[in-house]
Amino acid sequence: MRDTKAAIARREATTIRIETMLTSTLPRLVTKADLAEKPRTTDMWGILAVFLIAYGYDLVGFAVLK
């Protein structure tokens, strides 16, 4: 029983430390995310095109290997 109470006390202390860290860190991260530049639609289409081209090259490479 003593071991269980000690484990609960340690868990509570750890939980309080985690909660304190999150409380102090999250507001700053949210502010940074709000100020960050968001990608434009054309940027996203460009990224998609690069991925599709790379996928196409992979398909060609696999066909050549067979």
User: Which residues are within 8 A (CB) of 39 and not within 5 positions of it... i.e. 6 or more apart?
Assistant: 47
State the pLDDT at residue 48: 93
Cβ count within 10 A of residue 29: 10
Tens place of pLDDT per residue across the chain (66 aa): 788 888 888 888 888 888 888 888 888 877 776 667 777 888 899 999 999 999 888 877 777 776
Smallest CA-to-CA distance from 23 within 13, 15, 33 is with 15
pLDDT (0 to 100) of residue 33: 67
* pTM beyond 0.85, yes or no: no
Q: What is the pLDDT of residue 66?
A: 66
